[in-house]
């Protein structure tokens, strides 16, 4: 299943990182993967401090950063909404299993699947590609690992959550 990208859904920045640090070569193995790839607009919306930090990352840090967007399991679109757990990423495997985790909470009342790190929450905009053993999703935000970006880059929850419902009287 492949969805046609729009101009807003360009992946040039993430694809450039994946290629430059050669993660694409690693992904050609027979293992299964789920990738949450930030759209170009997500990189352009980074707060200045996070953007500066991102642009100052060395090659190895970019490699780990991008691996923090990839899970070594196949979560097709029909399964992803029901995952409801913290997942280790390829960066977790590289750096230690208690680091670089992604949270995929249950849907609750929303139809949008979200993924989060300690710093930011993103919406899975669409399925880009899904053919076992690989599925690729477009992510609305760059998944900033706290292990790289620290807590200075925390995005206030009000920026990505709906306002609370009005009080009942």
- At residue 158, the pLDDT reads 35
Burial code of 9-30, b = ≥16 C-beta within 10 A, e = fewer?
A: bebebbeebbeebebeeebeee
d(CA 142, CA 14): 9
pLDDT digits (tens, 9 = 90+) for 57-93: 999 999 999 999 999 999 999 999 889 999 999 999 9
Is the separation of the CB atoms in 124 and 138 below 8 Å?
yes
- At residue 60, the pLDDT reads 93
pTM over 0.85: no
- At residue 142, the pLDDT reads 95
The third-level CATH classification (topology) of the domain covering 8-150 is: FAS1 domain (2.30.180)
C-alpha neighbours within 13 Å on the C-beta side of residue 153: 24
- At residue 160, the pLDDT reads 36
Domain residue spans of the chain: 8-150
- At residue 6, the pLDDT reads 53
Helix (H, G, I), strand (E, B) or coil at 119: coil
- At residue 165, the pLDDT reads 44
Is the separation of the CB atoms in 119 and 154 below 8 Å?
yes
pLDDT in tens, the chain (169 residues): 445 545 557 899 999 999 999 998 888 766 899 999 999 999 999 999 899 999 999 999 999 999 999 999 999 999 998 899 999 999 999 887 789 999 998 766 567 899 999 889 999 999 999 999 999 999 999 999 988 988 764 444 433 334 444 444 4
Cis omega before residue 133 (within 30°)?
A: yes
The average confidence (pLDDT) of the chain is 83
- At residue 109, the pLDDT reads 59
């Amino acid at each position: 299943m492949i969805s046609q990208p729009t101009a807003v859904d360009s992946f040039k920045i993430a694809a450039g990182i994946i290629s430059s640090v050669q993660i694409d070569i690693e992904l050609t193995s027979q293992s299964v993967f789920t990738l949450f790839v930030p759209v170009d607009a997500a990189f352009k919306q980074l707060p200045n401090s996070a953007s500066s930090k991102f642009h100052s990352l060395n090659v190895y840090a970019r490699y780990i950063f991008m691996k923090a967007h990839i899970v070594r399991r196949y979560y097709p679109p029909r399964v992803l909404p029901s995952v409801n757990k913290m997942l280790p990423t390829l960066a977790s495997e590289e750096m230690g299993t208690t680091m670089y985790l992604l949270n995929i909470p249950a849907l609750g009342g929303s139809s949008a699947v979200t993924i989060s790190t300690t710093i930011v929450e993103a919406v899975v905009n669409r399925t880009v590609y899904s053919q076992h053993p690989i599925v690729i999703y477009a992510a609305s935000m760059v998944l900033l690992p706290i292990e790289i970006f620290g807590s200075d880059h925390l995005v206030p929850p009000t920026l990505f959550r709906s306002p609370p419902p009005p009080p009942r009287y």
